[in-house]
Structure 1
Amino acid sequence: MNFPFSLSDAAWPLLVALVFVLAGLVKGVVGLGLPTIAMALLALLMTPAQAAALLIVPSLVTNVWQIRPWSALGPLLRRLAPMQVGVFVGTLAGAWALGAPAGAWATVCLGVALIGYAVWGLTGARLTVRAASEPWLGPVIGAMTGLVTAATGVFVIPAVPYLQALGLQRDALIQAMGISFTVSTVALAAGLYFNAQYSSTSLGASALLLLPALAGMALGQSLRHRLSPLLFRKVFLGSLIVLGLHMVIKEMLAP
């Protein structure tokens, strides 16, 4: 992997592992954010495509875990199926049209996506989707999410605002996000493989990074009742804005 600064062979794996500990901690405290914070920080060390490849296994395992309980999965999965088809198709179409997320354009797109997600989260804006609109709006939102995923490796926009607009109860909303993030992760892996950016070496490295991600989640869950989730979320979102601005400005000022 090519880094923008000099790291010893021993230092960079430790730094990457610490990124996943932090990303897992955020997910443990606020219930989401592992892929987002991991992509934001790893993009400072490598291309978005390389970062996305390392993200696959930790994201997949933690989001499959989030889908439980299995007994409540059927009705929600049927309701969200049109959106998830859109996610998968949109991601693969984006991977075919855009290629792997690498280079200045991918970094800028990632920065913009982080800023957009953080600003939306800080405003506390809430939308409402009528049940009659779900059959056509779900696939549209899914396809848009897929295109953003293919371009940036981040799959929260516009999926999360849409899912929150469905009026689901808290447990059902967490499960719905787990479903959407799982489908996005599988589609992202397929897109990376299609663009020859997902090798057995990437898979092995990603599997190893599951351990620090789970350790971070356990730490975050233990801290959840000691910290103010609202304050922690604001700090988390504010940090994403700073990282997003850094990415955009750095690429715009590059010679």
Structure 2
Amino acid sequence: MISSFAMRASVVAATFVAAGFVKGVTGMGLPTVAMGVLGTLMLPAQAAAMLLLPSFVTNVWQLFAGSNVRALVKRLWLMMAGIGVGTVATASFIAGGGGEWAVAGLGAALTLYAVAGLMAWRFSVPSRYERWLSPAVGVVTGAITGGTGVFVVPAVPYLQGLTLKKEDLVQALGLSFTVSTLALAIGLAREHAFEIDDLSESLCAVVPALLGMWIGQRVRGHISPATFRRWFFLCLLGLGIQLLARAFV
């Protein structure tokens, strides 16, 4: 008979292969998918601690895949500072202070992101507004990250609204997710929800995530991006609704 430990390890590995695959195809989505699936199986704080290393490794890989890192950091540092402050300040919520509200917040964040993706919401950010809008978006993103472990809202729509080339956008997403991951690790550690001993479990998730990312990158050119994104957001919507139901039913 398969032990509960082996079953859990298999589910976690499969989750990170799937999450890495999504990231390989779209350039984002690993923590979102991982939090969405693992959030149905464990507390959000446990899921967030588990995704730290695979998220960090894959995002650093994505960040340094191009040559414009310095220019992007110079342009987006206020946003990154906001993400750091917002995440660390609100990490107590996901670390246990929020209880069922952390689960509800995770479900709401996934649902909102999925609906925005399915409706293809797009907006343009005039360059004259960047200086004050960037830190505001960063703080809000950080607050949602600290409360739910999801890095994407509103950072992803905002970065997509900037005048960035495709390669720069992918790197900017990698930069945002890397900073979010580091800030979440600091916040969880400060709240004693993440210890050095937890790194072993997170480390075991790195290989499946990298495998999935490698597969996703290989098949990226052989599938319809529009079709893939539609099914991706439909799955996120289902996960979000399931988490909301779990929190309140």
TM band (smaller chain): over 0.9
Shift of 1:69: 4.2
Aligned to 1:110: 106
User: Which residue number in structure 2 is paired with residue 194 of structure 1?
Assistant: 190
Q: 2:50 matched to 1:50?
A: no
Find the counterpart in structure 2 of residue 247 from structure 1: 243
- 1:46 and 1:115 map into 2 onto residues whose CA distance is 19
Distance 1:195 1:37, change over 3 A: same
Q: How does 1:1-255 map to 2 (within 5 A)?
A: 8-69=4-65, 71-96=67-92, 98=93, 100=95, 103-253=99-249
**Residue 45 of structure 2 contacts residue 94 of structure 2 at CA under 8 Å; is this kept in 1?**
no
Q: Distance in 1 between matches of 2:146 and 2:3?
A: 28
Structure 1 unpaired stretches of 5+: 1-5
Residue 99 of structure 1 deviates from its aligned partner by 5.6
Structure 2 letter corresponding to 1:245: I
For 2:7, the aligned partner's letter is A
Q: Work out whether residues 99 and 195 of structure 1, in 8 Å CA contact, stay in contact via their aligned partners in 2.
A: no
CA deviation string 1:20-47 (max 9, x = no partner): 0110111111221111000000001100
Instruction: Return the alpha-carbon distance in structure 1 between the equivalents of residues 132 and 25 of structure 2.
Output: 34
| Offset of residue 204 of structure 1 | 1.2
**Structure 2 CA distance for partners of 1:99 and 1:227, relative to 1, 3 Å:** closer
Deviations, residues 130-155 of structure 1 (Å, cap 9, x unaligned): 11111111000000000000000001
Once structures 1 and 2 are overlaid, which stretch shifts more, 63-72 or 203-212?
Answer: 63-72
Q: Helix, strand or coil for the counterpart of 2:85?
A: helix
Q: Where do 4+ consecutive residues of structure 1 move more than 4 Å?
A: none
* Alpha-carbon distance in 2 for matches of 1:153, 1:108: 12
Structure 2: runs of 5+ lacking an equivalent:
none
The percentage of counterpart residues that share the same residue type is 48
For the residue of structure 2 that corresponds to 1:100, the secondary structure is helix
Q: Offset at 1:228?
A: 1.2
Residue 7 of structure 1: CA displacement? 6.5
Q: What is the CA–CA distance in structure 2 between the aligned matches of 1:23 and 1:103, rounded to whole Å?
A: 25
Q: Deviations over 1:103-122 (max 9, x none)?
A: 31111000000010011111
Task: Tell me if the contact between 1:31 and 1:174 (Cα under 8 Å) persists in the aligned partners.
Answer: yes
Which AA in structure 2 matches 1:150? G
Asked whether the 8 Å contact 1:23–1:33 carries over to 2, the reply is yes
1: CA distance between counterparts of 2:218 and 2:224?
A: 13
Between the aligned partners of 2:231 and 2:239, the Cα distance in structure 1 is 12
